């Protein structure tokens, strides 16, 4: 089964390496030379070169040049794992099996943008890894493979990213043989169910200490590396916050306002929140605020 491969993020790299390790016939790789869009961007050319696989750089997957390059590979299937633009009919129709895409949620639920971040920010207790036959919609095609994974409160984005990769690599090995043997199934998504998450912006990453501590934890852990980081606005400057912990603050007879700095322990800052207090344990303060002042 001749596979043309499209990708441009770290997940794309791990999935490509998996295909190579199981001796799948990857006949060509399409990737990007650079990207300001993806914080986890990965140029796949190094993997392609090391394994003597032809590769093609593009910034527009639907350009005539790129479409023709993929066509010349004569693929039986196209895998598109980690590409930020919609794929049009010219690419979808190239191979006999179509294009297999990937979305890290339990489709038809939670289609759309920033799926791993939203799942953590919203405090979901589970999500999933879904491979599907792409159509001209966004995450709307028939499901090929789906596998659930748990989200623990203490998990951050890096932990969840690695967990979904672990899930996905198991799925890839399973469905590759199914596609080659023709014994796969297509599960149509129920269009009466599901939702789509919107694009996140800078304001979505602001920590407001009027939030409850659990909400701040979820927000910070959702945006930590490999993503852009949550931030606070302090003295006219945006300060990145990469790691937090819930404090053992005693809320008995609590009359302290949110945002007040309660204590400093080495480089850790304890700040009052809407319901208790939180420690800022990994941050980019160049000069620590004073105890008794406010971060608002």
Question: What architecture is domain 2-196?
Answer: 3-Layer(aba) Sandwich (3.40)
Whether residue 39 has pLDDT greater than 90: no
Q: Using CA atoms, how far apart are residues 198 and 118, in angstroms rounded to an integer? A: 9
Distance from the Cα of residue 187 to its chain's centroid: 24
Instruction: Give which of 258, 283, 262, 281 is closest to 208, Cα–Cα.
Output: 258
Provide the pLDDT confidence category of residue 229 given band limits of 50, 70 and 90: very high
- Distances 260 to 80, 141, 165, 212, 274 between C-alpha atoms, Å: 48, 49, 40, 14, 11
The pLDDT score that the predictor gives to residue 254 is 85
Please write the tens of the pLDDT for every residue from 73-117: 999 999 999 998 889 999 999 999 999 999 999 999 999 999 999
Mean pLDDT, rounded, for 269-288: 96
Mean pLDDT, rounded, for 245-253: 87
Q: Using CA atoms, how far apart are residues 26 and 141, in angstroms rounded to an integer? A: 23
What's the mean pLDDT when you consider all of the chain?
A: 95
Provide the pLDDT confidence category of residue 187 given band limits of 50, 70 and 90: very high
Mean pLDDT, rounded, for 184-208: 95
Q: Do 213 and 275 form a contact (C-beta atoms < 8 A)?
A: yes
The pLDDT score that the predictor gives to residue 252 is 79
> Which residue has better confidence, 249 or 231?
231
Please write the tens of the pLDDT for every residue from 117-146: 999 999 999 999 999 999 998 899 999 999
**Numbered ranges of CATH 3.10.25.10 in the chain:** 202-283
The pLDDT score that the predictor gives to residue 86 is 87
Provide the pLDDT confidence category of residue 253 given band limits of 50, 70 and 90: confident
The pLDDT score that the predictor gives to residue 186 is 97
**Numbered ranges of CATH 3.40.50.170 in the chain:** 2-196
147: tokens are: 């596998």
CATH class, domain 202-283, is alpha beta
Mean pLDDT, rounded, for 203-219: 97
Please write the tens of the pLDDT for every residue from 48-75: 999 999 999 999 999 999 999 999 999 9
- Distances 256 to 6, 165, 235 between C-alpha atoms, Å: 53, 43, 21
Find the DSSP H helices in 28-82: 45-50, 64-72
Please write the tens of the pLDDT for every residue from 153-174: 999 999 999 999 999 999 999 9
């Amino acid at each position: 089964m001749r596979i043309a491969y499209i990708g441009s993020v770290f997940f794309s790299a791990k999935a490509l390496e998996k295909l190579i390790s199981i001796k799948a016939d990857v006949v060509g790789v399409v990737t990007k030379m650079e990207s300001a869009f993806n914080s986890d961007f990965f140029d796949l050319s190094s993997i392609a070169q090391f394994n003597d696989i032809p590769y093609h750089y593009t910034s527009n997957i639907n350009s005539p040049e790129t479409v023709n390059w993929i066509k010349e590979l004569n693929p039986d299937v196209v895998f598109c794992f980690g590409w930020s633009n919609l794929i049009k009919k010219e690419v979808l129709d190239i191979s006999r099996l179509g294009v297999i895409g990937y979305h890290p949620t339990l489709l038809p639920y939670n289609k759309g943008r920033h799926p791993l971040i939203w799942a953590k920010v919203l405090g979901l207790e589970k999500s999933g890894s879904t491979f599907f036959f792409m159509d001209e919609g966004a995450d709307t095609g028939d499901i090929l493979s789906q596998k659930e994974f748990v989200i623990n409160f203490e998990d951050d984005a890096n932990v969840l990213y690695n967990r979904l990769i672990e899930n996905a690599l198991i799925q890839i090995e399973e469905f590759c043989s199914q596609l080659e043997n023709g014994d796969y199934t297509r599960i149509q998504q129920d269009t009466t169910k599901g939702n789509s998450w919107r694009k996140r912006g800078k304001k979505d990453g602001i920590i407001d200490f009027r939030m409850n501590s659990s909400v701040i934890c979820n927000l910070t852990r959702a945006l930590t590396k490999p993503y852009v980081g949550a931030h606070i606005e302090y003295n006219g400057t945006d300060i990145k916050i990469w790691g937090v912990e819930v404090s053992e603050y005693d809320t008995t007879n609590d009359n302290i306002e949110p945002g007040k700095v309660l204590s400093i322990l080495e480089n850790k800052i304890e700040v009052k929140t809407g319901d208790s207090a939180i420690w800022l344990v990994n941050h980019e303060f160049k000069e620590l605020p004073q105890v008794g002042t406010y971060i608002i």
